[in-house]
Structure 1
Amino acid sequence: MLAVKTLRSNLNIFRRSIWLMGNQFEISLVANDLIWAESKITDAINEINRVDKLLSALGDNSKVNEINRNAGVKPVKVDPEIFRLIDRSLQISALTYGAFDITYVSADKAADVKPSAFVNTYSNYKNVVLDPQAVTVFLKEKGMRISFASIGKGYAADRAKYILQMQGVSSGVINAGGDLLTWGTQPNNADWTIGAADPELQTQPFANLNIGNMCIATSVNAERHAAISNRPQVNMVNAKKGFPVSEIMRVSVISPTAELSDAMATPIMNMGVNAGLYLINQLNQISCLIIDDHNRIYTSKGIDKAD
């Protein structure tokens, strides 16, 4: 059963928090009427639940489950909404050179697969075949699977925002498990902003990020963070050049949609500081902030540090 907190108001900002899609969502609206705001928030929650059911791999009626069952067998006709989301996912995979990928190998097949085949065959976005005319999806290899775990939360947040805007909600914020999606302005007509703190000076922001009509999604290297917190830090060394190589501890990506920000955050972390910044700086309407394992801060174009 879903746990729902009481709706509250503060300076014409109405909020409700609820557990959805394995994450804590908080939906905040700028409005003058509590009953009206409550109704709109309920509609947004219903939309998130619809997306969750649509993208689920559970149940005999699940299209994702049907795609996976027919891997290596035949194409599966899907809803246009699922088709478009897979198409966009494959585009992000190409953009990140496969660092983002919704494909993986099934548990029963993994035991029989050589490590090199995971990336080359079973976990490879290039082996997903889309037919726009028939609106079908085909996974080339038996044992291939797809999952929307890395993009579904962001897509659901975007859909909830769309529903709210279509119903006349001119300003608001959707917090999807820490990812913030905003539109409109605050009650005082100021843009939505957040302060990004220096890891060593948590109460002192080093940059004020304007996230008005944008989304910021953050990915944290939890394993590396725990290692550094619990034992003396050991630097990796570049075998060819002989100098320490820094790892990314945290990356935040700002873009117009939660789907894109959510999808890009982890790949940037896996790509490393230089490659990640290079990629982001080639793209329009997207920026990022990176903190490495030495607490050094890197920013792409579009982010200005505070004075």
Structure 2
Amino acid sequence: MKFNLVFAVCVLFSNHVQAKWTSANASIMGTNIHVEVWAEEASLAENAIQTVFDEMQRINQLMSPYIESSELSKINRLAALKPVIVSEEMFNLIELSVGLSMETEGAFDITFASVGFLYNYQEKIKPKTVQFNQAVKAIDYRHIHLNPKKTSVAFDHPDVKIDLGGIAKGHVVDTSIELLKGLGIQHALVTAGGDTKLLGDRRGRPWMVGIRDPRNKDKQAVTLPLSDNAISTSGDYERYFEQDGERYHHILSPKTGKSVHEVQSVSIIGKRSTLNDGLSTAVFVLGVQAGMDLINKTPGYEAIIMDKHRKMHYSKELKR
């Protein structure tokens, strides 16, 4: 009888502990979403996770280039014809994107979409030469004109299109964590594709965050112990196809309009996911030397780069 009592208590204790960690997955914004939260009550955990999923859907409806009614699609349709008044959230993110373009000397540039929309990676379609040569002229962040007083966006080139795919997921991870804080959550993880942000630690120990091997989805190239921090990874394996021995992927050089091949993946570690997201793209485009030079002079941000020869490179502080 004593054995049965002890066994029952152990089972109850085990269930009670396991119930505090709650996780869920979803497919939103064209990527995999993963959320883990620690909460005393199951109802709070469920509400917290649903809050994150709702936020992801909200941002998707606002910033998806594939949804005709989105604010981003409206900008792409009309901004070359007249200034388009946009929400403060959209204006701020475009303004930040243009600022990153200036800081990275154009390595990060949301007008890459002027060429990028001509690719269909699932169908292995690339732009025809005539299309490409016309569209590549529109890639230049200086074609974007912002009016802070009116929160309006205008383009000075008829073929300009923008895509926030290189920064929007970082943004929604940031906003999701803030919403969780507002609900009283103190320990959580939110992942949207290659962007992960951590709230607190994993109850007394760090989160172990893996950076996947660019050529083996089942293998981790690096595993990092992180707490109350964020990490974003850009890789040439996210959206791509191979044709005639060449790899066509979605990270395009704003200078050439073509896929960049000096590196296979870039991970940026820093407190703000929005900046991590943009910087990971910029460093990918810049390559190992120029990319590391940028990160080493950016306080609070670190980088891990795997080059095309699969050699790992670390920023100064990570080396230490």
Report TM bin, short chain.
0.7 to 0.9
Distance in 2 between residues matched to 1:82 and 1:161, nearest whole Å: 19
Extract unaligned runs of 5+ from structure 2: 1-16, 119-126, 247-260
Matches within 5 A, 1:73-152: 73-103=81-111, 104-105=113-114, 118-119=135-136, 121-152=137-168
- 2:114 maps to amino acid: V
Query: More helix by proportion, 1 or 2?
Result: 2
Residue number in structure 2 paired with 1:215: 230
SS in 1 for 2:318: coil
Q: Are the structure 2 counterparts of residues 12 and 295 from structure 1 closer, same or farther at C-alpha, using a change threshold of 3 Å?
A: same
TM-score where L is the length of structure 2: 0.75
Q: Does 1:170 align with 2:186?
A: yes
C-alpha spacing 1:253/1:190, structure 2 compared with 1 (3 Å): same
1:153 alignment partner, one of 147, 169, 178: 169
| Alpha carbons 2:21, 2:38 under 8 Å: kept | yes
Aligned to 2:161, what secondary structure does the other structure show? strand
User: Residues 199, 85 of structure 1: CA spacing in aligned structure 2 closer, same or farther, 3 A cutoff?
Assistant: closer
1:88 positional shift: 0.6
Task: Give me the whole-angstrom Cα distance separating, in 1, the residues matched to 2:214 and 2:163.
Answer: 33
- Deviation track 1:48-80 (CA, whole Å, cap 9, x = no partner) reads 111111113456643222222223321111111
- How many Å separate the matches in 2 of 1:10 and 1:254? 29
- For the aligned residue pairs, the C-alpha RMSD in angstroms reads 3.4
Query: Do the aligned residues in 1 keep the contact of 2:214 with 2:237 (CA within 8 Å)?
Result: no
- Structure 1 residue 304: deviation in Å? 4.2
Which residue pairs with 1:241 in the alignment? none
The percentage of counterpart residues that share the same residue type is: 28
Deviations 1:164-192 (A, max 9, x none): 111111111012124321011112x2232
Matched, 1:44 2:61: no
Query: Could you list the runs of 5+ residues in structure 1 that have no partner in the other structure?
Result: 1-8, 232-245
Distance 2:278 2:70 in 1: 22
- Work out which of the residue numbers 281, 287, 293 in structure 2 matches 1:278: 293
Name the amino acid aligned to 1:102.
I
1:251 aligns with 2:266: yes
Deviation sequence 1:67-111 (CA, Å, 0-9, x none): 222233211111111000100111111122212111132779x87
| Amino acid across the alignment from 2:51 | D
Other structure's SS at 1:138 match: strand
Equivalent in the alignment of 1:18: 26
Distance 1:140 1:291, change over 3 A: same
Residue 238 of structure 1 is matched in structure 2 by none
Residue 123 of structure 2 corresponds to which residue in structure 1?
A: none
The one-letter code of the counterpart of 2:82 is: K
CA distance in 2, matches of 1:197, 1:16: 20
Could you say what secondary structure the match of 2:298 adopts?
coil
In the alignment, the residues of structure 2 paired with residue 113 and residue 131 of structure 1 have an alpha-carbon distance, to the nearest angstrom, of 34
